[in-house]
Amino acid sequence: MTGKCVFCFITAVCLVTPLCAHDAKSLPASIPVEEWLKSPDRQDIVWKVQIFQNLTLQQRHLVQVLATIRGRDYLEGASARDLHFVTKIADEQGNWLDGQSYDHFKQPANFSGGDSVHSFANLYLKAGNYTVAVIAYDSMHNTGNVWRMKLTVPAVVDRLPDLGRDFPVAEFLPPAKAALGLKSADWEQYPPGVLQNLMLDPLTLGNGTAHLPVANKKPVRIDVVVNLSDNIVVFVTSPRRDCLEHALSGIGGPFAWNSCYHPQFSEADSRAYKFDQGLALEVGNIVSQLAPQTGCVRFSAMDALRQDLVADRVNASHVDWDTLSKRVASAEIKEIDLTPEHANDHLIWFKQFIEKVNEDSYECGLPAGATNHVLVVVSMPMPFPVYTQIRTVKSYSPRPASYHLRLQFSPRGSPIFPDQTQQILSSLKSKDLPFFGSEQLRNQLDFIVKDLAAAN
């Protein structure tokens, strides 16, 4: 099964305590992977294996493998098992590549025929032809399954055909905690698109460098600024004795306030917020890999609602993306202050940072006045709190070339959640570049590359 857009902006799904425990530690030497890969396919336990393919916003070809065993098939002929799942990839010549995905299913005491076992693997692959193999080995009975399938990862034929030429051939990725918490009924209830999103944390970025050369005529300093703030809207509902009572409303529905001006965010709320932050970070990652012929690229990331500067004008080639992702993942949504008396603080803080970037005199190590300044802002459709008075950033002469990459939450845009960031940037005459999904993002990247090359 394939698809053109992964991570189509779902919000949090209510998760529960896992019924079936999984252990994703390193592969034990006792699992006969090499021996079984040399043997024919076998199926000692009835199962179903599914393959999903998508192109992420970071422009990685994502392959997800999902193996499902119904409880009654799992228990047939054995009251207990000790199942180890291994996923391997072979190249077009049949050579098994380094690395694998490993998952150990620990059968709980109350496991029954009405339950099910789900094991999945996530990996990034370069375009090409491969063989996928999945092994389910029951170490208690020395039985199990071996399944193989030929897989073609199609190249993206567009204006940026060489974008992924330097990416690693294969990268095995860790599972998202959200999927490890799903119960048997959840796997059956949610549609494939939701399951694909739940199986991979978008904060898991791929390695390698994108090929995005810019044939600029004059040296440029490109500043990529990503606002990781998600779409939380504050609106007045009814007054209370000493303050106004509010509710928070987002794509996932209303969020309750337990006391005046202090929302109590649930774990699901935080998970949805961080999910979308991962999408924005993916976009910032790929945009920061623009490679001007002369000049430099710097990367900044912030959460305006949290007033947290995650990365401040770091040389794009020196960004530690793993550390950055972990910092974003560890941030607490409960730290966001949306009270009326502080409503303007978020916008002012964002506005002042953009102005600081624009006023920066850094010239990429070149002589003074040698570089043209380029600003690329990445944001989600996040309206600032309802009390906020929109103020635009200062205008400059000469005005920097400015682009605004806007993640859309639906193919037709998000009119319910207007993006006030564009209003804040209006004095810079930013070129508005909305996109939905990975392919539209590629088109906008292509536009930026050509537009910078055409500039004087």
Q: What is the 3-state secondary structure (H, E, C) of 142-164?
A: CEEEEEEEEEEECCCCCCCCCCC
pLDDT surpassing 50 at residue 6: no
Q: Enter the tokens of residue 278.
A: 């991962």
Give the separation between CA 19 and CA 248, rounded to whole angstroms: 32
Convert the pLDDT of each residue in 70-91 to its tens digit.
Answer: 999 999 989 899 999 999 999 9
pLDDT surpassing 50 at residue 155: yes
Q: 211-233 b/e with 16+ CB inside 10 Å = b?
A: ebebebeebbbbbbbbbbbbbbb
Q: Which residue has the higher pLDDT, 246 or 132?
A: 132
Walk across the sheet containing 101-106 and list its strands: 21-23, 101-106, 83-90, 128-138, 143-153, 42-43
CATH number at residue 28: 2.60.40.2550
Residue 113's H or E segment, with its range, is: none
Convert the pLDDT of each residue in 405-423 to its tens digit.
Answer: 999 877 765 555 567 898 8
Do 101 and 174 meet the contact criterion of CB atoms below 8 Å apart?
A: no
Which residues form the domain of 134?
21-199
Examine residue 3 and state whether it is found in any structural domain, yes or no.
no
Pairing mode, strands 308-315 and 295-303:
antiparallel
Q: How many CA atoms lie within 13 A of 180 on its CB side?
A: 15
Same structural domain, 260 and 377: yes
Same structural domain, 175 and 113: yes
Same structural domain, 187 and 255: no
Examine residue 272 and state whether it is found in any structural domain, yes or no.
yes
Q: Give percent of the chain above pLDDT 90.
A: 61
What does the pLDDT read at residue 159? 86
Give the separation between CA 370 and CA 365, rounded to whole angstroms: 9
Average pLDDT, the chain: 84
Same structural domain, 358 and 278: yes
Same structural domain, 131 and 223: no
Which of 168, 199, 230 is where one domain is finished?
A: 199
Which of 199, 227, 253 is where one domain is finished?
A: 199
Which of 176, 199, 222 is where one domain is finished?
A: 199
> 3-class SS at 319?
coil
| Closest residue by Cα to residue 11 from 234, 261, 255 | 255
Residue length of the chain: 456
Q: Which residue has the higher pLDDT, 129 or 13?
A: 129
Convert the pLDDT of each residue in 165-214 to its tens digit.
Answer: 999 999 999 877 777 777 777 888 888 888 888 888 888 999 999 999 99
Looking at the 3D structure of the chain, how many domains does it have?
2
Examine residue 120 and state whether it is found in any structural domain, yes or no.
yes
Q: Which residue has the higher pLDDT, 177 or 289?
A: 289
Examine residue 109 and state whether it is found in any structural domain, yes or no.
yes
Examine residue 7 and state whether it is found in any structural domain, yes or no.
no
What does the pLDDT read at residue 410? 75
Same structural domain, 136 and 245: no
Q: Which residue has the higher pLDDT, 102 or 334?
A: 102
Examine residue 187 and state whether it is found in any structural domain, yes or no.
yes
Same structural domain, 157 and 287: no
pTM, entire model: 0.87
pLDDT bucket at 227, cuts 50 / 70 / 90 = very high
Phi, psi of 238 (to 5 degrees): -160, 150
Q: Is the dihedral of CA 165, 169, 174, 180 positive or negative?
A: positive
Convert the pLDDT of each residue in 119-132 to its tens digit.
Answer: 999 999 999 999 99
What does the pLDDT read at residue 341? 72
Q: Enter the tokens of residue 331.
A: 């941030």
Same structural domain, 190 and 250: no
Same structural domain, 163 and 221: no
**Number of neighbours of residue 332 by Cβ within 10 angstroms:** 10
DSSP β-bridge partners for residue 42: 146
CATH number at residue 266: 3.40.50
| Closest residue by Cα to residue 314 from 295, 296, 297, 299 | 299
**Number of neighbours of residue 395 by Cβ within 10 angstroms:** 11
Same structural domain, 186 and 221: no
pLDDT bucket at 266, cuts 50 / 70 / 90 = low
pLDDT bucket at 262, cuts 50 / 70 / 90 = very low
pLDDT surpassing 90 at residue 241: no
Examine residue 81 and state whether it is found in any structural domain, yes or no.
yes
Do 380 and 229 meet the contact criterion of CB atoms below 8 Å apart?
A: yes
Top mean-pLDDT range of 45-59, 171-185, 270-284, 385-399: 45-59
Same structural domain, 338 and 379: yes
Examine residue 59 and state whether it is found in any structural domain, yes or no.
yes
Same structural domain, 237 and 337: yes
